[in-house]
Amino acid sequence: MSSPSSVYSKLLPMPYHTVLLVIVWLMLNSSIGLGHILLGLVLGIVIPWICAPLRMHQPGVKRPLKAISYVLIVLKDIVVANIEVAILVVGPMARIKPGFVAIPLDIHQDLPITVLASTVTMTPGTVSCDISEDKKWLYVHVLNMPENEQEVIDLIKSRYESRVKEIFGC
């Protein structure tokens, strides 16, 4: 005999993933018919059963509201970044001064670092290239380097990393 909570966690090992899978299934079919909801629920329960043993523990999102505002900031930055890059690409090539920068990281779990690296790649003039084995340094290629490379590091740390840190609460 097991307690109710353990039965629950056996039946639904990843409740958020179940909800997400049902929503994605409904979006794929673009309908909210009863049959689609039932089929989505079956998929949303069976797939986590199969995938639960493969799962690695990741820190959860501690502050959903902060996460939403972060997504909005990043979306705005993506649009601005694209306009900047477009102007640089069409303009004369001599203006482009590329360079590498190593950014010291304050966060050490996999999921926050992945989020940060993806954000860095999608935003103004930076592409994340590699990460050191001890997860303390993120190597970034900068399209147009300012004279003082500390500016880039400070921008990324203050604008993105501090927010990621708050969201995941680490």
Partner 1 sequence: MSFAIELVISFFLIVGGIFVLVGSIGLLRLKDLYVRLHAPTKATTLGLGGVLIGSMFYMHYAQGYITINELLITLFLVITAPVTAHILAKVALHHRVKMMQRTRNPHHVETARMQQAPQVLEDKSKDKDSNTIK
CB nearer to partner 1: give 12 or 39.
Answer: 39
Measured CA to CA in angstroms, residue 112 lies from 22, 74, 85 at distances of 25, 15, 26
CB nearer to partner 1: give 12 or 37.
Answer: 37
For residue 29, the minimal CB distance to partner 1 (Å) is 9
CB nearer to partner 1: give 9 or 36.
Answer: 36
For residue 14, the minimal CB distance to partner 1 (Å) is 18
* Residues 6+ away with beta carbon under 8 Å from 125: 81, 84, 85, 88, 142, 143, 144
CB nearer to partner 1: give 8 or 109.
Answer: 109
For residue 9, the minimal CB distance to partner 1 (Å) is 28
For residue 62, the minimal CB distance to partner 1 (Å) is 21
Long-range contacts of 157-164 (CB under 8 A, 24+ apart): 157/103, 157/106, 159/73, 160/74, 160/116, 160/119, 160/120, 160/123, 161/105, 161/106, 161/107, 161/116, 163/66, 163/70, 163/73, 164/70, 164/107, 164/112, 164/115, 164/116, 164/119
CB nearer to partner 1: give 41 or 102.
Answer: 102
Footprint of partner 1 on this chain (CB under 8 A)?
Answer: 24, 27-28, 30, 78-79, 81-82, 85-86, 89-90, 93, 96-102, 117-119, 121-122, 125, 127-134, 136-137, 139, 141, 143, 145, 149
